[in-house]
Structure 1
Amino acid sequence: MGLSADEEQMVALVADFVDDRVRPRVREFEQDDIYPAEFIDAMKELGFFGMLAPAEFGGVDVSTACFARVTEELARGWMSLAGAIGGHSVITYLIRNFGTDEQKSKYLPKMATGEIRATMALTEPGGGSDLQAMRTNATRVDGGWSISGSKTWISNAAHSGLFGLLCITDRDVSPAHKGMSVILVEPGDGFTISKKLPKLGYRGVEACELVFDSRVVPDDAILGGEPNLGWGHMMRGLEVGRIQVASRALGVGQAALNDAIRYAQERESFGKPIWKHQSVGNLLADMATKQQAARLLTQDAAERLDSGKRVDMEAGMAKLFASEAAMQIALDAIRVHGGYGYSREYDVERYFRDAPLMIVGEGTNEIQRNVIAGQLVARNKI
């Protein structure tokens, strides 16, 4: 299907931003886990936070395929920057597709500019990928809902002004997901955001724990205005989220592959560039093949979503394969670099620390396999 000329220009703009402004300075922020405020401000100015917002609300309104390409370019520079737009874009997508007219008018214009940044709040300390075991709940009070519970590993939490919270709003139904709602929660009384959690990679952008202690929100905070539809809403949103995570993995894999190809030409041993040694050349060939396969899976999922099709299986496949490929490509890039690959003097050690997030984030790869198997059977019943 391909991108429009305007979308190709946007991808090129992001690539230039990454090469000119991000890659030369990543270590200033990444090594000491410093929040990259100036990069985030530049991303707001360039319209990256409004990619999935409708034009009528000030957004850029690009296709999912373009969104995936932009995400890949950002992650090629620094995966954390791609993470900064991840949850925000999913909540933008949810409000655009399921929000009431009032919710769209209230949030989308400010989300499009990045004045309001949003994030998802799904994972709980004792639940992980098992969303059916969710305990965070909202009970009806006069004129609204009172929320109690906690969420953890919430990206961008300290810098977000809106949280798409998935929680229980009817504890009497079975299965549990039939009583879940997405509630649009703003910071306020009864809502505490912890200090950021320490992480192996994905540094610079924070991940925090959220605690809700009788946080009261009005009735119109329920996404779409009607409770107990949140599971279906969020599952649609996660299709976008998993394409976004697959695209992040593509960016990390491409950066690692590029560095390995460059180093294999510059480094010589036994009188020739190391890529001419079969063991190194084979590594490069396998890395490039995995990267291309991951890109095609991700592109297919994005284009299917743009055509209006259900893509939970395809997005799961893309996320599963691209994340595992990125992890292997990052490891193989270290092998190509030899001892230098283990040094912070080269970026490949950072790729190796960033890659695991895509394996465990947005639903672990073990969960993705369950989703894929379930959809395979559902779509091919005998």
Structure 2
Amino acid sequence: MTATPTPPDRPTADRDPAPLADPLDLLDISWTLSQEERDIQQTVARFLADHARPYLGEWFETGRFPRELVPELGRLGLLGMHLEGYGCAGAGAVAYGLACLELEAADSGLRSFASVQGSLSMYSIHRYGSEEQRTRWLPRLAAGEAVGCFALTEPDHGSDPAAMRTRAVRSGGDWVLNGTKTWITNGSIADVATVWARTEEGVRGFLVERGTPGFTSHDIGHKLSLRASVTSELVLDDVRLPDAARLPEANGLRAPLSCLGEARFGIVFGALGAARDSLRTTLEYADTRTQFDRPISGFQLTQRKFADMALALNSSMLLALHLGRLKEAGRLRPEQVSAGKLNNVRQAIAIARECRTVLGANGVGLEYSPLRHANNLESVLTYEGTEEIHTLVVGQALTGRSAYR
């Protein structure tokens, strides 16, 4: 469903506008949102304030993903919320984006979980699965009763999935899969994995359940980024699957790439949550941190940093909102999603880093969020298409020439 904005009445000519409710919403972008969209955003923010924010530093430091929150996210309707039917909320693209923004304002690991669950695992089943597959998995995934993952990336093939080595070979009425997937979010906790493999007919997708003989996983440790997130390697060693495990509508590489487009859209909004939280944290700090007998928020150089960051945040939010409305109208193109991810993640990581400079030495601790966000955004800059790949996608849209094929 698509929410139609219902803004409040405009101020009359002889009455000054009211002060901004949120100084970070410098351009009053929230005025353009529908009441439903604002309600969804506020509900997610309140939930995270109660159930996540008190523990974010601990989860990052210990490298723990809060699995116990998954059913709660399901009860809120956040898992696959932009999909229709099968227990999914059927929310509009902007509402989904705003939920991603609030999740990433807490931690990128939470938004990554929701993106993989809804926009990769669930979307692949919703769009390319059989009715039996949809009925079996989507209600459980939407409720948070089951966890899904999406296995495309391989140790030697990230940006070039067409070169994947994982293969699926027919054996009677079954398929036998062999290969290795890596950097798989949710991998070791997933009840079902959407695994992409080469066949004689081209790339195909398969649903591989936890516990299937020959299917194993192990977590990737020693991470400096996305620590509050499960990242795994998956190994398929003569994994035998019935043909009923194949996604019947997924024919060719276009299928997994379309799923990635769904996840990238969430990042366009999500990254701005990390930027907004970094800026809000730093504004509060600067107003109480005193040097030379006055708060550092009153110094010209600090105010210039804040002004530049607020402009970058608000202009990026306008871009995200525009892309959301295009998606709701069925007009969003892949190169436009690439432009959104490229710009907004660049701006978000720059804001997080700049905020750390205002915090000074205090900014290197987990008491303040900007450096944690900056570290997480290093992963966001890379996954679902690297900065370089999205640059070339935009370049191809402008010139009509592919620079990487």
TM-score (structure 1 length as normaliser) = 0.91
Paired position in structure 1 for 2:40: 10
Please state how far the C-alpha of 1:253 moved relative to its aligned partner: 0.6
* Corresponding residue SS for 1:194: strand
Tell me how far apart the structure 2 counterparts of residues 360 and 146 of structure 1 sit (CA, whole Å). Answer: 31
Paired position in structure 2 for 1:181: 204
Is residue 300 from structure 1 mapped to residue 300 from structure 2 by the alignment?
no
Paired position in structure 2 for 1:215: 239
Tell me how far apart the structure 2 counterparts of residues 367 and 77 of structure 1 sit (CA, whole Å). Answer: 27
Paired position in structure 2 for 1:113: 143
Of residues 319, 326, 329, the one that matches 2:351 is: 329
Paired position in structure 2 for 1:53: 83
Tell me how far apart the structure 1 counterparts of residues 124 and 314 of structure 2 sit (CA, whole Å). Answer: 30
Give the 3 Å change call, closer, same or farther, for CA 35–310 of structure 1 in structure 2: closer
Tell me how far apart the structure 1 counterparts of residues 324 and 206 of structure 2 sit (CA, whole Å). Answer: 26
Tell me how far apart the structure 2 counterparts of residues 60 and 348 of structure 1 sit (CA, whole Å). Answer: 32
* Corresponding residue SS for 2:284: helix
Tell me how far apart the structure 1 counterparts of residues 320 and 197 of structure 2 sit (CA, whole Å). Answer: 29
Please state how far the C-alpha of 1:310 moved relative to its aligned partner: 4.2
Compare 240-249 and 362-371 and name the one that shifted more: 240-249
Equivalent residue letter for 1:182 = G
CA contact (8 A) 1:7 1:62 kept: no
Equivalent residue letter for 2:62 = D
CA contact (8 A) 1:253 1:329 kept: yes
* Corresponding residue SS for 1:165: strand
* Corresponding residue SS for 1:48: coil
- Once the two structures are superposed, the pairs formed by residues 234-253 of structure 1 within 5 Å of their partners are 234-253=256-275
Paired position in structure 1 for 2:216: 192
Paired position in structure 2 for 1:364: 386
Paired position in structure 2 for 1:174: none
* Corresponding residue SS for 2:224: coil
- 1:215-268 CA-partner distances (Å, limit 9, x unpaired): 111212222x156x1422222211111112222211111110111111121112
CA contact (8 A) 2:153 2:161 kept: yes
**Structure 2 runs not aligned, ≥5 long:** 6-32
Paired position in structure 2 for 1:33: 63
Is residue 203 from structure 1 mapped to residue 227 from structure 2 by the alignment?
yes
Of residues 270, 294, 297, the one that matches 1:272 is: 294
Return structure 1 stretches of 4+ with deviation > 6 angstroms.
none
Equivalent residue letter for 1:131 = P
CA RMSD for the aligned pairs?
A: 1.9
CA contact (8 A) 2:186 2:230 kept: yes
Paired position in structure 2 for 1:84: 113
CA contact (8 A) 2:168 2:176 kept: yes
Is residue 101 from structure 1 mapped to residue 124 from structure 2 by the alignment?
no
Of residues 62, 65, 68, the one that matches 2:94 is: 65
Compare 254-263 and 181-190 and name the one that shifted more: 181-190
Give the 3 Å change call, closer, same or farther, for CA 350–226 of structure 1 in structure 2: closer
Instruction: Figure out how many residues of one structure are paired with residues of the other and give that number.
Output: 369
- 1:309-336 CA-partner distances (Å, limit 9, x unpaired): 2421111111111111111111111111
CA contact (8 A) 1:65 1:303 kept: yes
- Percent of aligned pairs with the same residue? 30
Tell me how far apart the structure 1 counterparts of residues 68 and 148 of structure 2 sit (CA, whole Å). Answer: 18
Equivalent residue letter for 1:76 = A
Tell me how far apart the structure 2 counterparts of residues 311 and 5 of structure 1 sit (CA, whole Å). Answer: 27
Tell me how far apart the structure 1 counterparts of residues 137 and 366 of structure 2 sit (CA, whole Å). Answer: 41
* Corresponding residue SS for 2:146: coil
Tell me how far apart the structure 2 counterparts of residues 197 and 309 of structure 1 sit (CA, whole Å). Answer: 40
Tell me how far apart the structure 1 counterparts of residues 335 and 268 of structure 2 sit (CA, whole Å). Answer: 13
- 1:62-105 CA-partner distances (Å, limit 9, x unpaired): 11211111011011112211111111112222322332222221
Tell me how far apart the structure 2 counterparts of residues 153 and 194 of structure 1 sit (CA, whole Å). Answer: 11
Equivalent residue letter for 2:376 = D
CA contact (8 A) 1:95 1:103 kept: yes
* Corresponding residue SS for 1:95: helix
Please state how far the C-alpha of 1:44 moved relative to its aligned partner: 2.5
* Corresponding residue SS for 1:128: coil
Is residue 349 from structure 1 mapped to residue 378 from structure 2 by the alignment?
no
